[in-house]
Structure 1
Amino acid sequence: MQTNLADFIKDTPEGKEADAILRACVHCGFCTATCPTYQLLGDELDGPRGRIYLMKQVLEGKPATAKTQLHLDRCLTCRNCETTCPSGVQYGRLVDIGRKIVEDQVPRSPADRALRTALKEGLPRQWVFGPAMKAGQLVRGFLPAALKNKVPKRQAAGIWPRREHARKMLLLDGCVQPTMSPNINAATARVLDALGVQLIVAPRAGCCGAIRHHLNDHDAARDDMRRNIDAWWPHVEAGAEAIVMTASGCGATVKEYGHLLEQDAAYAAKARRISELTLDLSEVMPAFEAELLDKLRGKAVDKRVAWHPPCTLQHGQKIRGNVEGLLRAIGVDVQLCADSHLCCGSAGTYSVLQPALSYALRDQKLANLNATDAEMIVSANIGCITHLQSGTATPVGHWIELVDQALG
């Protein structure tokens, strides 16, 4: 694709990156075949190719409009198009750049602006979100359906292991997961404790930065990232082997710290090291498979589950097969549903900002998942788990909880 970027952007780091991404696109349209919003709406501008043209126009100096903003807002940033693209177009990075420019040019309505501000200021702060979610859970039965869908039933975390081990790894506790599903991180700690690894939660670490970054507040997102790096760095220097992610959405973002902070002289090198150390839990566990099987001898999990791979795992981090392989090894009957590559519609704050599209995608996904006749649906991201559970009576949980149950 030929480009002629406008003066305001062309010589900036973002402009150079956007130019390279645009030039990689060959207009083939393969991406539209796997774009969830294009499948729903049938509009070229609601597919990756159309959105790339919109962003190209803005980057070349054409003023953005409310229509431009609408079509970019409708993008899930699922990055399925990146998996499909034969040319390696890094669409996710381009849309982050394009959305920020459009956000700066096109005023939002007061109601939209207020909602987005509430999301980016409330969700990342555990001291705000935690009490609010707990209050919602107390009155959950009286909430309207739209709110009830966002408030999962209260869950006990169980015991957090206290044993010391020579092998240590960091764990990102996250911002919403500790309140919405506290058992996920506790189960992870118990499983790794049984395998001789101590998980450490750095007290000052918090939101990974994804919420603010995807809501176009890039400066605040980078502040989140710097805070986490500062919180983790003493443990990295002390020899922590890895930074474990139990939410694939967080993992996809932390693995980008090196890129997102590469212009920050004070943090660039540390950010690269943090990204190198960051592993999704499904990347950590295969190394322990033999030991795990030995501990589970005679305790195989006799259960049929449907595995929903989050977009941030299969498209963002390009991790496929790890979870299925591990669960099958311990005796779980794992089923992949039809169109397992497509997004469930959760996509961070998308289900709040684009509810009609989000719930349409959820219902399509659940129809395919339920067609597997599974006893349980498992995933690897708190957003997907909560979103899917809001539409089905079938239990939805994190895959590590099955391993924890098997270990007893």
Structure 2
Amino acid sequence: MQTNFSDEALRQPHIREADRVLRSCVHCGFCNATCPTYQLLGDERDGPRGRIYLMKELLESRDDDDQVTQETQTHLDRCLSCRNCETTCPSGVEYHKLLDIGRAEVDRRVGRSAKERALRYGLRKALVEPRRFQALLALGQTFRPLAPTSLKAKIPPRASRAGRTAPATHARHMLVLEGCVQPGLSPNTNAATTRVLDQLGITLSAASAAGCCGAIDYHLNAQEDGRDRMRANIDAWWPHVEAGTEAIVQTASGCGAFVKEYGEMLADDPRYAEKARRVSALAKDLVEILRDEDLETLAPRHDKRLAFHCPCTLQHAQKLGGAVESLLGRLGFTLSPVRDPHLCCGSAGTYSITQPALATQLRDDKLDALEAGHPDEIVTANIGCQTHLSGAGRTTVRHWIEVVDEALTSAPNDEARTA
């Protein structure tokens, strides 16, 4: 795609980056074929190709150009950031980088209503601090029967206790990013991970000072606040990195996708660039750890039929589509087929709150596809997807590691397995 940026504009780092991404696009339109919002709405401006043209027009125009309107902002807001288009694109267009630039620029020029500003600020403050989120969640669960129907779906029932954690200390050590909302919404996920890795001779622990990965701030156009959270996490992890920790494990694929990009997002920070690259190299989704281990020693016992929902952040951002399904198959689980597994469920971080109508339609379509094979349970790899799909009150949805842990708990003991 030909661009028309002035030399003065190209001296700005974000414009240079936008120019690079735009020039890689050949406007073939393959991306529209797999874009969830384009499939729902049928509007060129609600597909990647149309949004790319809107962002090109926006970034090439002057600040006082009246062609930049709230309509542009609306079409960019409707994007899920699922990155399905990047998987489809034959030219390797890094659409998500352009989208971050375009959203920041249109917000700067157009602004937002007081209601939208309040919602986005509230989401940032409510979600990113685990203790605050858990207090608000407990309050919401207490008064859930009194909440409007639309809000009830966003307030899950109280989660089961995390259960025991593994006390053993092994020669192999890894860190886990506990996350901001997962400890409140699904406390057993990281506990189950700890127990399973313990059986493989790996000690898993958390750095207490590490917090939210930064994705919520960053994608709600508080990008510098997001970078501050990246730096804080790097500071918390760095002593463990220097001590030789083997990996930094993410059990939420959304966090994993973001941490793996720390190196790129802090590349211009002289104090943190090298540390960020090192952290990104150590960042691993849980499935990347388990798939390289000798799973024969686990021998889980189970009889459930599962449907796996592969989060967009796992298959499109981390390029790990099929990895969990393969792992579960190695462990002997029966997986039901899922129609259109590449499509987003509508969770997409805070999208289910900022775009509820589209998110609900995508969720219901995804559940129809997941339930078509009559599974006993649905499993996934991201807390956002898990909570969003569970909100429909249909088939039980859990993290896949919980099902593995449960199967190991009911399996024979070590002596029986090795007899």
TM-score interval (norm. to shorter): over 0.9
Quote the Cα distance in structure 1 between the aligned partners of 2:147 and 2:290.
39
Q: Which residue of 2 aligns with 1:324?
A: 325
Cα 1:324/1:152, change in 2 over 3 Å: same
Q: Distance in 2 between matches of 1:91 and 1:201?
A: 33
Q: CA deviation at 1:8?
A: 6.4
**Letter aligned with residue 23 of structure 1:** R
Compute the displacement of 1:326 (Å). 1.2
Distance 2:9 2:306 in 1: 49
The one-letter code matched in structure 1 to 2:48 is P
> In structure 1, what is the Cα distance between the partners aligned to 2:165 and 2:206?
11
Match of 2:412 in 1: none
CA contact (8 A) 1:51 1:71 kept: yes
In the alignment, does 2:167 pair up with 1:166? no
Structure 1: how far apart are the matches of 2:331 and 2:304?
Answer: 10
Does 2:175 align with 1:175?
A: no
Instruction: State whether structure 2 residue 70 is matched by structure 1 residue 69.
Output: no
Gaps of 5+ in 2: 410-419
Contact between 1:211 and 1:348, CA under 8 Å: does it hold in 2?
Answer: yes
Change (3 A) 1:9 1:309: farther
SS at match of 2:336: strand
Is 55-64 or 172-181 further displaced after alignment?
55-64
TM-aligned CA distance change 1:56 to 1:212, over 3 Å: same
Structure 1 CA distance for aligned equivalents of residues 191 and 52 of structure 2: 42
1:118-129 → structure 2 map (5 Å cutoff): 118-129=122-133
Q: Which residue in the other structure is 1:387 paired with?
A: 388
Following the alignment from structure 2 to structure 1, what is the Cα–Cα distance between the partners of residues 303 and 96? 39
Contact (CA 8 Å) 1:6, 1:61: kept in 2 or not?
no
- Could you tell me whether the CA contact under 8 Å between 1:308 and 1:336 is conserved in 2? no
Letter in 1 for 2:39: Q
Shift of 1:340: 0.7
* TM-score with structure 1 setting the length: 0.97
2:157 to 153, 160, 166: 153
Match of 1:201 in 2: 206
Displacement after TM superposition at 1:154 (Å): 1.4
In the TM superposition, residue 321 of structure 1 has moved relative to its aligned partner by 1.8
In the alignment, is residue 262 of structure 1 matched against residue 267 of structure 2? yes
1:366 partner SS: helix
Give the AA of the match of 1:221. G
Alpha-carbon distance, 1:20 to partner: 0.8
1:287 alignment partner in structure 2: 292
Report the count of equivalent residues: 404
SS in 1 for 2:175: strand
Letter in 1 for 2:61: G
Give 1:137 deviation, angstroms: 1.9
One of 278, 287, 295 as aligned partner of 2:283: 278
Render the CA deviation track for 1:229-252: whole Å, top value 9, x for unaligned: 000000000110000000000000
CA RMSD of aligned residues (A): 1.2
Alignment map for 1:44-55 (pairs within 5 Å):
44-55=44-55
Post-superposition shift, 1:141? 3.1
**Structure 1 segment 2-401 matched on structure 2, within 5 A:** 2-6=2-6, 9-62=9-62, 63=65, 64-155=68-159, 156-288=161-293, 290=294, 292-296=295-299, 299-401=300-402
> Using the alignment, how far apart are the partners of 1:231 and 1:294 within structure 2?
33
CA shift, 1:11, in A, is 1.5
CA distance in 2, matches of 1:204, 1:66: 40
8 Å Cα contact 1:5/1:61 also seen in 2: no
- Distance in 2 (alpha carbons) for counterparts of 1:254 and 1:8: 33
- Give the CA deviation at 1:343: 0.3
TM-score, normalised relative to structure 2: 0.94
